[in-house]
Amino acid sequence: MEILYSIFYTKRGGYTPQQRAQMTGTAIEELGRRFNLSPDSVSIDHSDIVSDLMYGNKVLLSLTDQDALWEGIPRDSLAKERRGEVVDKLHEMKAEHGLWRMAKRVLYFVLVIVGQYLLFRLTNWLFRKLKVRILCLKDTKLKPVTIQGYELLDTQKQVNLLVFVAGIGRYIIMGLQLLITVPLVFIIFPQTEGLAYRLFGYIWTPVRKILIGIVDYIPNLITIIVICYAIKSLIRLIRYLAHEVEAGRLKLGGFYPDWAMPTYHIVRFLLYAFMIAMIYNYLPGASTGVFQGISVFVGLIVSLGSSTVIGNVMAGMVITYMRPFKLGDRIKLNDTVGDIIEKTPLVTRIRTPKNEVVTVPNSFVMSSHTVNYSASAREYGLIIHSEVSIGYDVPWRQVNQLLIDAALNTPGVLDDPRPFVLETSLSDWYPVYQVNAYIKEADKMAQIYSDLYQNIQDRFNEAEVEIMSPHYMAVRDGNETTIPKDDLRGKTKTETGTNK
């Protein structure tokens, strides 16, 4: 109809040339869709001021003297010329909308529907074949997926996952088929051709926007990749240096090896945070209000709910660089005595000698006093001590020697430095002696104490020296001694045998 659109140059009846052309084209298109169309029935109705092309009672177009003047020919000649063009166009449209053409369109429609049905059948058949092949992989090529000894996916779960992915792929393929078939079905018939283009527009417009968005985003994506790669490379370099420092191959003045990995984790976190801050503006949708609103909401939730967590994390960092203890150390934290088995950014775990695991928040560790037995034992020997009260009738030199002998015979007590004895008080009824001994194995302190107490009792019993408890009063009026009868009986038998 573009030929008809270009024949109007003047206004008529308040309509612009473009509007006249559009109205003429619409009228001819509506007429051309009639099944009983007779193109040769188009006639010319002349009047004094206008010549109308008529089909029955319907006016297809009107020509004025001004239109003829623009064309440079008489109005009746222009009307005959335009009638020939309209008749030719109507013959084309009749052939386009005729019964034979309609039959061919119906045939095409049926073929498209049958073809789509066969494609669905083929897709389902291929999916069933693929499912059988996947099930056969269970006993042939598939192996369990494990991560550090944990079986993440066994063969059955892998089969189920592959079948699920194949099913998703089947539906995607069928959807793509429909995206092609449905517009194709509508485009077969002229009456629904506009709807076909509209449906195709509904599909293609978002796809085109997505593709254009992807192409436009490529420079930003390259920038993000470069930033991420640079940060990753820097992190790998820092990790290598941290391992070297931890292994002792790289020494830094004033920097302890056990600081290496915690420092690496802190630096890695800061670098990742810096990376996110750098690539934030390059993310798709970063400048939109929704994205910014979500960021503010997440930040508010984190700030309101993580004050205690952040306090523990900061305390954990301070504890790391204070070095009050390390893994395996025997410590005393307030009333809790045990070995350090785990240090995390949030808590410290202690296992007591009774195998009780105590979890202590790092903020509590920071606010409490800590005694590290293992550090003292490693550097210059940990001193254990025990007090006994002996009567004034026993010479102090003998008591000192007995206590030193008991300490030296205790497993875990060092010969050098040598154990020593302190006389801590002179009470009304007895003096108090304190034996001190050096040990290196702080984690065996409880057993060493037990062996020391037993050896003290054995040495004093063998020497027939009574250990006077603070509330014991010895009255020699025939009462039995505090030395065990077995020790006295053994000594009496020995003396009797010697006398004989």
pLDDT given at position 207: 79
Which 3 state secondary structure label does DSSP give 113? helix
pLDDT given at position 412: 92
Residue given tokens 């007895």 in the structure block: 430
Report whether pLDDT(497) > 50. Answer: no
pLDDT given at position 275: 92
Task: Give phi and psi for 420, each to the nearest 5.
Answer: -140, 165
Helix ranges (H only) for 248-306 are: 260-279, 289-305
- More confident position, 286 or 121: 121
Q: With contact defined as beta carbons under 8 Å apart, do 417 and 365 qualify?
A: no
d(CA 476, CA 413): 38
pLDDT band at 495 (very low <50, low <70, confident <90, very high): very low
Amino acid at 292: Q
Q: Which helix (DSSP H) or strand (DSSP E) does residue 119 occupy?
A: helix 99-137
- More confident position, 406 or 143: 406
Average pLDDT over residues 330-357: 90
pLDDT given at position 225: 93
pLDDT given at position 258: 79
Average pLDDT over residues 267-284: 88
Q: Which domains does the chain have, with CATH numbers?
A: 17-97 (no CATH), 101-189 (no CATH), 193-287 (no CATH), 329-374 (2.30.30.60), 381-463 (3.30.70.100)
If you count them, how many residues does the chain have? 500
| Sign of torsion over alpha carbons 315, 320, 322, 323 | positive
- More confident position, 382 or 309: 382
Q: Which helix (DSSP H) or strand (DSSP E) does residue 164 occupy?
A: helix 155-188
Report whether pLDDT(371) > 60. Answer: yes
Report whether pLDDT(260) > 70. Answer: yes
| Sign of torsion over alpha carbons 436, 441, 446, 448 | negative
DSSP state of 70: H
Report whether pLDDT(307) > 50. Answer: yes
pLDDT given at position 438: 94
pLDDT given at position 49: 83
Mean of all residue pLDDT scores within the chain: 82
Of 40-44, 108-112, 199-203, 347-351, give the range with the top mean pLDDT.
347-351
What lies within 8 Å, CB to CB, of 390 at 6+ separation is 399, 430, 431, 433, 465, 466, 467, 468
pLDDT given at position 480: 59
> Which among 266, 259, 350, 366 is positioned nearest to 315, based on CA atoms?
366
Q: With contact defined as beta carbons under 8 Å apart, do 402 and 358 qualify?
A: no
pLDDT given at position 58: 83
d(CA 417, CA 411): 15
pLDDT given at position 204: 78
| Residues 194-245 pLDDT 10s | 777 777 777 778 878 888 888 888 988 999 999 999 999 999 999 999 999 8
- More confident position, 39 or 369: 369
Alpha carbon of residue 240 to chain centroid: 25
Q: Tell me the β-bridge partners of 372.
A: 331
d(CA 148, CA 158): 18
Average pLDDT over residues 422-449: 91
Which 3 state secondary structure label does DSSP give 307? helix
Report whether pLDDT(65) > 70. Answer: yes
- More confident position, 2 or 118: 118
Of 105-119, 281-295, 317-331, give the range with the top mean pLDDT.
105-119
> Which among 418, 334, 330 is positioned nearest to 375, based on CA atoms?
330
What lies within 8 Å, CB to CB, of 2 at 6+ separation is none
